[in-house]
Amino acid sequence: MRNENEQIASKPGKPTSHQLPHVVLTGISKRYGGVTALDTVDFACSRGSIHAVLGENGAGKSTLIKIMSGVVQPDAGQMSIAGQPVVFPNPASANAAGVICIFQELSLMPDLTVADNISIADPPRRFGLIDSRAQRRRAEEVLASIGCEDVNPLSRIRDLPLSRRQMVEIGKALTKNPSVLILDEATSALTAADVEKVFDILHRLRDQGLSILTISHRMHEIEAIADMCSVFRNGRHIETFVEGTRTNTEIVQMMIGREITAHFPPKHERPPDDPSAAPVLETRGLNWEGRLTDINLTVRRGEIVGLGGLDGQGQKELLLGLAGVLKSVSGEILINGKKTSVSSPEAAKAEGAEIALIPEDRKTEGLMLGMSIADNLTAASLGRYSRFQILDSAAVTEAVRSGIERMRIKVGSPEDPVSTLSGGNQQKVVIAKWLLTEPKIILLNDPTRGIDVGTKQEIYRLLRELADNGASILFYSTDYEELIGCCDRVDVMYDGRIVRELVGDEINEHEIIASALNIEGGEVPDFLAGSDGQGGAV
Amino acid sequence: MSSLESTETKRFGISITPENKPIVIASGFVLVILAIGTGYTLATQGTATLLSPTYLLQQLQVGSFLGIVAAGMMLVILLGHIDLSVPWTVAASAMMATAVGGPAAIPVGLTVGLTVGLVNGFGVAYLRIPSMIFTLGVNAVMRGLMVAHTGGFAPQTAATDLMQWLAVGKVLGIPVAILVWAAVSVGMTVLLSRSAVGKSIYMIGNREAAAYLAGIPTRRVIVAAFALCGMASGLAGTLLAGYSTKAYQGMGDAYLLPAIAAVVIGGTHILGGRGRYLGTVVGVILVVLLNSVLSIMQLPEAGRQVIYGCVIILMLLVYGRGQKVTQ
């Protein structure tokens, strides 16, 4: 396959810099409300190369590919393909220009067949009606071309395992004849054998002259496949280099950068294993549907324990499991040393557990947006103000007042709809709602996402204050700075397991990122050796 | 900004919030209906019959049966669900109440309604069957059971005296049925605005996931709302049997859609989470008066149906437009 005259085909090969870039972005900026997702980014990728985009959560990678594939429009900047300026008002126009994106969230219709899904955008027609035979033939061809002959084109997507679905997704993208193929964590659901297959396909496509852009958090996969790497941080394009010319340590350093923007309340010096502080919350061997594996953690009185790791490594599931939302979690949860079964959020807040979960998405899980601030504030603690089911309105008013005061929520009237508040104040309402239940254990699922710096600082102060008053806090954050600044200990998760516990001075950017990528901290030279089975390699 | 608005409106004594707006519009429309009807009677008969207390009380009496059904329906709609089993819950309660007779008649009627409501609630909350389908099925089952019970003929049993008194009796000139409706209304108001269950109903209708995560026992609340709705239908059936002194097949058929219409006209969001009980009362009055005035004006049945339907659609259009602008 690899001709000598195509030096691009050999890996690591020569840099392709002398080649004309195929897709060029200049000065692209994108803001979401007050958050700058991309800040005047220049970026280019060439034909016949596989280009990996690296960066922390929120670095702007997803926004970049969304702009390239027409899902969102940039606020400023231009894009050109093969020298021609292009504007993509929607994904269809990007597809027409040959830019095809395989998104992280699968875009297949579960109740349609494989063949239907592959041809969904442009089914073959006969007399104006869908030609199902031609559609099946097309599906067979494309599945064979990616080594998935075992998938029956007539089976429903719902009946396929996740890794097969992902392969169908790739096949679907290929039927659109892409010149630029973008994969957003497209290998995240694949088995090791499938990853091999996908890499073979990608290499073949690259040799055919496609420009391939991939986002992955798996360093060993990037090493195995990428020709070029670009690192993004805080919406800026930091550097592009030929893969193999930087060490992992350097790459991690680029991803972290050096920007300390937040101030955190002081932590208390405490002996790491203070025997007087018995664990308030302890789990033993929690498992859940393959998404959580053998979770053992402890949170002591007055302690803030962080959950780290990349997005989607089981942190949310762990918090939901502790709050009683997930069914059939196996393993033991001990509260104050007593085995406790928490079967629902209602049971979680009852006496004996007294757990509060600040959920991830305040708009859909934390708040009833159509209701008033007062109603939202008292939602979790209604039982406290009612006698024989009838609410004591004086007690309710007092609770609302104290909630607003405690969290310094800026409100006109408590009767205003909660949707009129800013994001930060909405989040304060969610937190105040739970504080009114006087919880002993507080689980937070990324509580500062998308809120302003000032409110963040208030939340940090509040967490420390709650811990000092005896609460036990388990705090998941996608922002490692918060974990460093707030937490007494950090458990880093990878692929549904806790792979590392960081204590004291170990809680630093480098250790957190290295553990999150599941590579050894420190010098990280040669982890590739055992890269076949991902996860649980510690 | 919003605080400015609320002080502004408080100064004038009326606050027209999005919540209250449908109620204001519906009340205005009630007056329009009365005015048109009065204009018609003045022109044709030279009298203002529609404004006489007798006529109005009579309309309210007729409206109380619908009002009680609508009260229960409102609870279910606030959850974002619907109860289509109303027609045969009404009929079954009436038939069982008259069949049992004696002092047990009314409790039996209520129990039948409560039982059907519990079944509905169980199906929706625990079996997770969409309420539209489940209650439709329950309605069919109830009809089958009642046909089996009566052999397909009109039951020969009669309503007890107490049932008749509750439906057509008068206290100080006021029909007792209206008082029953008023009592139900007081209960509803307390439930919806003063009780934890009421708040929970609004929360679930707004966003069930958030309510669940806040530790609200969502399933039990759903069962409770359906149970109360069933009981309201049972009460209405028992009263209706008293009104017509007997139970008969299909006696509840005329209550399902008007009840839903009344609730929605009163400003309750059909997808749940929003609405005030006062609105439902106004909605019931509107539906009853509209029917009555249209029949006074001796429009042919076909024309009445068309106008009735158009009015409902028109009112919802007005609400919908207003809401889009305010958001």
Higher pLDDT, A480 or B103: B103
User: A19 falls in which pLDDT band (50, 70, 90)?
Assistant: low
Residue A353 has which token pair?
Answer: 């557990």
Q: Which of B128, B189, B199 to mutate to test binding with chain A, by most A CBs within 10 Å of its CB?
A: B199
Residue B150 pLDDT level (bands cut at 50, 70, 90): confident
Residues A31 and A169 in one domain: no
Task: For residue B150, give its domain range.
Answer: 61-255
For A191-204, what is the mean pLDDT? 81
| A122-134: average pLDDT | 85
- Nearest C-alpha of chain B: how many angstroms from A391? 5
Q: What digits encode the pLDDT tens for the residues A23-78?
A: 899 999 988 766 678 888 999 888 889 999 988 766 788 888 889 988 888 999 99
Among A264, A38, A290, CA closest to A161: A290
Q: Could you tell me whether strands A279-288 and A489-494 are parallel, antiparallel, or unpaired per DSSP bridges?
A: unpaired
Q: Given A438, A456, A480, which residue is the final one in a domain?
A: A438
The domain in which residue A128 lies consists of 106-177
Cβ-based contacts of B197 with chain A (< 8 Å): 389
Q: Based on the domain organization, do A195 and A333 belong to the same domain?
A: no
**CA of A475 vs chain B CAs: smallest distance (Å):** 17
Mean pLDDT of A318-322: 91
Last residue of a domain, one of A383, A411, A438: A438
- More confident of the two residues B306 and A481: B306
| pLDDT beyond 60 at B5 | no
Tell me, yes or no, whether A321 and A215 share the same domain: no
Q: Name the minimum distance, in Å, from the CA of B132 to any CA of chain A.
A: 23
Helix, strand or coil for residue A210?
coil
Provide the number of structural domains found in chain B.
Answer: 1
Average pLDDT over residues A470-499: 87
- Residue A160's φ and ψ, nearest 5 degrees, are -90, 145
Cβ-proximal residues to B146 (8 Å cutoff; 6+ apart), any chain: B88, B91, B92, B95, B249
Are A88 and A195 in the same domain?
Answer: yes
Q: How far apart are the first and last CA of chain A?
A: 38
Q: Name the token pair of A316.
A: 């949310």
Q: Quick one: pLDDT at residue A5?
A: 42
pLDDT at A524 over 80: no
Q: d(Cα B48, Cα A227) in Å, to the nearest integer?
A: 90
Cβ–Cβ below 8 Å for B214 and A345: yes
Q: What is the ipTM of this complex?
A: 0.83
d(CA B301, CA B324): 35
Residue B128 lies in a domain: yes
End position of a domain, from candidates A409, A438, A467: A438
**Residue of B1, B213, B268 to mutate for A, most A C-beta atoms under 10 A:** B213
Q: Report the distance separating Cα A126 and Cα A435, nearest Å.
A: 63
**Residues on chain A touching B213 (C-beta within 8 angstroms):** 323, 325, 345, 357, 359, 365-366
Comparing A73 with A275, the larger pLDDT belongs to A73
Pick the closest to residue B284 from B307, B303, B259, B306 (CA basis). Answer: B259
For A99-108, A429-438, B301-310, which range has the lowest pLDDT when averaged over its residues?
Answer: A99-108
Strands A292-300 and A279-288: antiparallel
Domain for residue B108, yes or no?
yes
CB A107 within 8 A of CB A169: yes
Side chain identity at B13, as an amino acid letter?
G
Residue A440 has pLDDT above 50, yes or no: yes
What pLDDT, on a 0 to 100 scale, did the predictor assign at position B76? 96
**Mean pLDDT, all residues of chain A:** 82
Give the CA count within 13 Å in the CB-facing half-sphere of A107.
Answer: 18
pLDDT beyond 80 at A349: yes
Residue A47 near residue A22 (C-beta atoms within 8 A): yes
Distance of CA A521 to the CA centre of its chain: 22
B210, A365 contact by CB (below 8 A)? yes
Residue A272 lies in a domain: no
pLDDT in tens, B12-46: 445 566 678 888 888 999 999 999 988 988 888 88
Are the Cβ atoms of A379 and B199 closer than 8 angstroms? yes
Q: What per-residue confidence (pLDDT) applies to B71?
A: 96
CA A66 to chain centroid: 15
Distance CA B157, CA B248 (A): 10
Q: What's the distance, CA B216 to chain centroid? A: 26
With a pLDDT cut of 70, the percent of chain A lying above it is 87
With 0-12 / 13-18 / 19 or more C-beta atoms within 10 angstroms meaning exposed / middle / buried, residue B160 is buried
| Cis amide prior to A12 (ω within 30 degrees) | yes
A-chain residues near B212 (CB < 8 A): 325, 344-345
Asked whether residue A376 is assigned to any structural domain, the reply reads: yes
Using CA atoms, how far apart are residues A183 and A65, in angstroms rounded to an integer? 9
CA angle B233, B238, B239 (to 5 degrees): 100
* Report field, pTM of the whole predicted structure over 0.90: no
Q: For residue A489, which amino acid is it?
A: R
Please, which pLDDT band fits residue B281 given cuts at 50, 70 and 90?
A: very high
Determine whether the interchain pair B210/A365 forms a contact, defined as Cβ–Cβ distance below 8 Å: yes
Testing the interface with B: which of A319, A322, A349, A371 to mutate, by most B Cβ within 10 A?
A: A371
Q: Is residue B165 assigned to a domain? A: yes
Query: Looking at residue A156, what DSSP letter applies?
Result: B
With bands split at pLDDT 50, 70 and 90, how would you rate the model's confidence at B220? very high
Q: Give the integer Cα–Cα distance in Å for A517 and A502.
A: 14
Least confident residue range of A148-152, B135-139, B212-216: A148-152
| A359 falls within a domain | no
How much of chain A is helix, strand and coil, in % rounded to 5?
A: 35, 25, 40
Pairing mode, strands A228-233 and A49-55: parallel
Q: Are residues A44 and A158 in the same domain?
A: no
Q: Between chains, do B196 and A386 touch, taking CB under 8 Å as contact?
A: yes
Q: Which of A325, A368, A393 sits opposite B206 (nearest CB)?
A: A368
CA A103: distance to chain centroid? 13
